[in-house]
């Protein structure tokens, strides 16, 4: 596998936010979101075997692991890595755009699917056939850039009512969307969603890597 970085930090997103987590950031992404905050993962990285990755993760005193990117599902060994981590007793989160088939993943893994809003420029890449494959334990995330993104996300939830069995995360684009305004919209519409801030960007420099 080509790996951009492996590090331990505080989980900044999902319902696991605030917990220590080991991040395995893979190299490569098939999308180019307007607000992407990890362009360094497009090309930078080094080849590592699954065994070497497991050994490095094992050096951290942490049982929560996230595969992220880039897009981790571009790596053909990602399902095997996730399964090996799960066999080792880790809780495994997999953050994916939803543009690639999630069926090869071990059902014990927790998928955090980032459904791309129009403001990302990548909403047309969504593989909607993935939605029925999500398990109740999985989570879906909408990164909101503006009111148009918000309205689009609400419409998606209305069109796909099965999404309501999952934790639904609304996250403002950092530095662009005022989280207070997004909170107002959620409260006004009575949505049963989680307002998610990227916690790590408030703790450390938003441009910092490895945090």
Q: Read off the pLDDT of residues 137-168 as tens digits, 9 standing for 90 and up.
A: 999 999 999 999 999 999 999 999 999 899 99
Q: Which of 113, 110, 48, 103 is nearest to 85 (CA)?
A: 110
Average confidence score pLDDT of the chain: 95
Q: To which residue do tokens 């069926």 refer? A: 103
Please state the φ and ψ torsions of residue 155, each to the nearest 5 degrees.
-65, -40
Q: How many angstroms separate the CA atoms of 39 and 28, rounded? A: 9
Is pLDDT above 80 for 207? no
Is pLDDT above 90 for 208? no
Q: Confirm if 139 and 112 have CB atoms less than 8 A apart.
A: yes
**In which band, very low, low, confident or very high, does the pLDDT at 53 lie, cut at 50, 70 and 90?**
very high
**In which band, very low, low, confident or very high, does the pLDDT at 211 lie, cut at 50, 70 and 90?**
low
Question: What pLDDT, on a 0 to 100 scale, did the predictor assign at position 66?
Answer: 98
Q: How many angstroms separate the CA atoms of 121 and 36, rounded? A: 11
Question: What pLDDT, on a 0 to 100 scale, did the predictor assign at position 156?
Answer: 97
Q: How many residues does the chain have?
A: 211
CATH superfamily of 2-203: Aldolase class I (3.20.20.70)
Average pLDDT of the residues in 2-12: 96
Please state the φ and ψ torsions of residue 147, each to the nearest 5 degrees.
-65, -35
Question: What pLDDT, on a 0 to 100 scale, did the predictor assign at position 206?
Answer: 80
Q: Which of 81, 93, 131 is nearest to 13 (CA)?
A: 93
Average pLDDT of the residues in 96-104: 96
Average pLDDT of the residues in 47-55: 98
- Between 3-12, 60-69, 196-205, the lowest mean confidence (pLDDT) is in 196-205
Average pLDDT of the residues in 176-185: 97
Is pLDDT above 90 for 79? yes
Whether the upstream peptide bond of residue 152 has omega within 30° of 0, thus cis, is no
Average pLDDT of the residues in 96-117: 97
Is pLDDT above 70 for 3? yes
Question: What pLDDT, on a 0 to 100 scale, did the predictor assign at position 37?
Answer: 85
pLDDT greater at residue 200 or residue 96: 96
């Amino acid at each position: 596998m080509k790996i951009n970085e492996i590090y331990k930090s505080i989980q900044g997103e999902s319902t696991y936010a605030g917990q220590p987590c080991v991040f395995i950031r893979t190299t490569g992404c098939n999308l180019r979101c307007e607000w992407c905050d990890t362009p360094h993962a497009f090309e930078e990285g080094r080849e590592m075997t699954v065994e070497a990755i497991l050994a490095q993760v094992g050096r951290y005193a942490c049982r929560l692991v996230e595969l992220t990117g880039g897009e981790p599902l571009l790596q053909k060994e990602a399902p095997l890595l996730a399964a090996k981590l799960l066999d080792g007793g880790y809780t495994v989160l997999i953050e994916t755009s939803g543009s690639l088939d999630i069926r090869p993943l071990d059902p014990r893994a927790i998928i955090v699917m980032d459904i791309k809003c129009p403001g990302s420029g990548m909403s047309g890449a969504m593989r909607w056939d993935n939605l029925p494959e999500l398990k109740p334990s999985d989570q879906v995330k909408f990164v909101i850039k503006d009111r148009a993104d918000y309205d689009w996300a609400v419409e998606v939830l209305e069109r796909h009512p099965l999404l309501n069995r999952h934790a639904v995360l609304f996250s403002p684009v950092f530095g662009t969307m005022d989280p207070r305004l997004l909170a107002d919209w959620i409260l006004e519409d009575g949505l049963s969603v989680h307002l998610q801030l990227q916690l790590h960007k408030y703790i450390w420099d938003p441009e910092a890597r490895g945090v």
